[in-house]
């Protein structure tokens, strides 16, 4: 049951890559103890390379959708974690968060080069997010 789990909201600007991967990672790594969701300051779409980067480690986020922060304003969270600097600036305070954290990761959607090079960058950011989750939430 979700109410027995720690509630986490990952925030990014577009809710298209970093926050989506963070949601998928935490929900897969800590199914029994955490329930993660994600949102953005703007609603767009989940980037195909984010879906592929997660698929490469057998985690499926293909059914995720981009959501705005407004959908969660009345929801209480144990953690609200911004994963990009602009979301951190746009949302310096979240009234229903017990703990507010900021984890700065590079924007994989800014990757250049071939599709393989771009995917490699998404995978690098995914792995950095996973490392942070394991170090700070799953200790």
pLDDT at 95: 80
Q: Does 84 qualify as catalytic in the annotation?
A: yes
Which residue among 59, 91, 101, 120 is the active-site one? 91
Partners of 132 in the beta sheet? none
Encoded tokens for 119: 């995917």
Instruction: Note down the domain range covering 30.
Output: 6-138
Three-class DSSP category at 131: helix
How many CA atoms lie less than 13 Å away from 42 in the CB half-sphere?
A: 7
What are the C-alpha distances in Å from 87 to residues 52, 77, 105?
A: 24, 17, 11
Nearest to 81 by CA among 67, 69, 64: 69
Catalytic pick from 9, 12, 21, 61? 12
Coarse DSSP helix, strand, coil percentages of the chain, rounded to the nearest 5 percent: 40, 20, 40
Asked whether residue 11 is assigned to any structural domain, the reply reads yes
Mean pLDDT by 10 residues, the chain (139 residues): 86 95 98 95 94 98 94 92 80 79 94 97 98 95
Residue pLDDT, tens place only, 33-68: 999 999 998 999 999 999 999 999 999 999 999 999
Q: Catalytic residue among 81, 84, 87, 133, which?
A: 84
Q: Looking at residue 1, what is its pLDDT?
A: 53
12 a catalytic residue: yes
Residue-level pLDDT at 92? 57
In a domain, 12, yes or no: yes
Name which of 1, 14, 7, 28 is nearest 126 in CA terms: 28
Tell me, letter by letter, the H, E, C secondary structure of 15-78: CCCHHHHHHHHHHHHCCCCEEEEEEECCCCCCCHHHHHHHHCCCCCCCCCCCCEHHHHCCCCEE
pLDDT given at position 33: 96
Tell whether 1 is covered by a domain: no
Q: How far is CA 83 from CA 16, 41, 116, in A?
A: 12, 12, 24
Residue 91 appears among annotated catalytic residues: yes
CATH value at residue 90 = 3.40.50.2300
How many domains, in total, are found in the chain? 1
């Amino acid at each position: 049951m979700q109410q027995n789990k720690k509630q986490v909201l990952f925030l990014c600007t577009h809710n298209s890559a970093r926050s989506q991967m963070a949601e998928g990672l935490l929900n897969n790594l800590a199914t029994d103890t955490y329930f993660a969701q994600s949102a953005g300051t703007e609603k767009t779409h989940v980037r195909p390379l984010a879906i592929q980067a997660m698929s490469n480690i057998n985690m499926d986020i293909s059914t995720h959708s981009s959501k705005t922060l407004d959908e969660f304003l009345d929801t209480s969270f144990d953690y609200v974690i911004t994963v990009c600097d602009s979301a951190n600036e746009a949302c310096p305070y979240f009234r229903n968060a017990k703990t507010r954290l900021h984890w700065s990761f590079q924007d994989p959607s800014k990757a250049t080069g071939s599709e393989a090079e771009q995917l490699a960058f998404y995978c690098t950011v995914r792995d950095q997010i996973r490392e942070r989750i394991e170090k700070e939430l799953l200790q």
